[in-house]
């Protein structure tokens, strides 16, 4: 579904991504791991169009998307959540998700119908599946950090994506919240037939959720393979897993 080939991106002299390769098949859950500064977030920014790549190809469903702006890429079926909470703080939780649904349904430029009555069911069902129903009327900026991270994912679902990219979905969460969130992500993948690409620091989570793992170091892909392949790879053990 998604192929990334020989991706390169530099900031001035710093090679943030220097030869990344990635394959995500339909319905798969793929994790990207690597030490801090390995280029994981930059890779996600390149795939979603937030940054422009210097070299390489990003192909989604057979189409080269590496030149498209973020809003076009989103319309192709890729949604994302952010590592650092990135929501609409002055809108209610409901409106946060609803805005994404408007966009998906092509109704954002509707000027004269009250928003209250549009896309309500779609929005409600997303909030319900994320366990946010009882906070629908709260102002998003007033939620706890954990809830805001959940809302992050809920907004991304508003576009009914085929590929969902989660950038450290559990960053800053307590261990229990982390557990719950990853359960939720797995459920989503099952129920909605989502393909998921995520990155995460907690190795236990990665190895319990992911079906395929891509390892990055210094902006470069070391290996992508099944859990066992990655676990037994010498280079990965030296670089990251501490040579067990």
Return residues touching other proteins (CB under 8 A). 48-50, 69-71, 74-75, 79-80, 82, 86-91, 95-96, 98-100, 102-104, 107-116, 118-119, 134-135, 138-139, 141-144, 146-147, 155-156, 158-159
Q: Is 181 helix (H, G, I), strand (E, B) or coil?
A: helix
Cβ distance to other proteins smaller for residue 97 or 236:
97
Cβ contact 222:35 at 8 Å: no
For 226, other C-beta atoms within 10 Å of its C-beta total: 12
Instruction: Name the residue among 48, 56, 80, 64 with its Cα closest to residue 6.
Output: 56
Q: Please, what is the minimum distance in Å from the beta carbon of residue 182 to other proteins?
A: 18
Cβ distance to other proteins smaller for residue 4 or 164:
164
Cβ distance to other proteins smaller for residue 73 or 214:
73
Q: Please, what is the minimum distance in Å from the beta carbon of residue 101 to other proteins?
A: 9
Phi, psi of 166 (to 5 degrees): -115, 115
Q: Please, what is the minimum distance in Å from the beta carbon of residue 69 to other proteins?
A: 7
Cβ distance to other proteins smaller for residue 25 or 89:
89
Q: Please, what is the minimum distance in Å from the beta carbon of residue 227 to other proteins?
A: 30
Cβ distance to other proteins smaller for residue 130 or 239:
130
Cβ distance to other proteins smaller for residue 155 or 239:
155
Q: Please, what is the minimum distance in Å from the beta carbon of residue 149 to other proteins?
A: 13
Distances in Å between the alpha carbon of 25 and those of 165, 180, 187, 212, 222?
Answer: 13, 25, 18, 10, 19
Helices assigned H by DSSP within 109-215: 120-129, 145-157, 175-192, 203-209
Q: Please, what is the minimum distance in Å from the beta carbon of residue 43 to other proteins?
A: 15
Place of tokens 């004269």: 112
- Structure tokens belonging to residue 158: 């508003």
């Amino acid at each position: 579904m998604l192929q990334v080939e020989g991706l390169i991106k530099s900031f001035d002299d710093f090679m943030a991504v220097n030869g990344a390769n990635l394959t995500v098949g339909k319905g798969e859950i793929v994790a990207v791991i690597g030490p801090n500064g390995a280029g994981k977030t930059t890779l996600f920014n390149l795939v979603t169009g937030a940054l422009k790549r210097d070299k390489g190809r990003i192909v989604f469903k057979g189409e080269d998307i590496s030149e498209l702006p973020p809003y076009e890429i989103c319309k192709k079926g890729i949604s994302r959540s952010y590592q650092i909470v990135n929501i609409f703080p002055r809108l209610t939780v409901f409106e946060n998700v609803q805005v994404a649904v408007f966009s998906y349904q092509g109704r954002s430029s509707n000027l004269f119908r009250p928003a209250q009555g549009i896309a309500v069911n779609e929005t409600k069902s997303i909030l319900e599946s994320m366990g946010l129903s009882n906070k629908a009327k709260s102002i998003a900026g007033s939620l706890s950090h954990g809830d805001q991270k959940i809302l992050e994912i809920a907004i991304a679902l508003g576009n009914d994506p085929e590929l969902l990219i989660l950038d450290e979905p559990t960053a800053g969460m307590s261990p229990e919240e982390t557990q719950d969130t990853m359960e939720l992500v797995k459920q989503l993948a099952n129920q909605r037939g989502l393909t998921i690409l995520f990155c995460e620091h907690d190795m236990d989570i990665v190895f319990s959720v992911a079906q395929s793992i891509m390892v990055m170091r210094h902006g470069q892909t070391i290996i992508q393979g099944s859990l066992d392949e990655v676990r037994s790879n010498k280079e990965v053990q030296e670089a990251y897993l501490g040579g067990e």
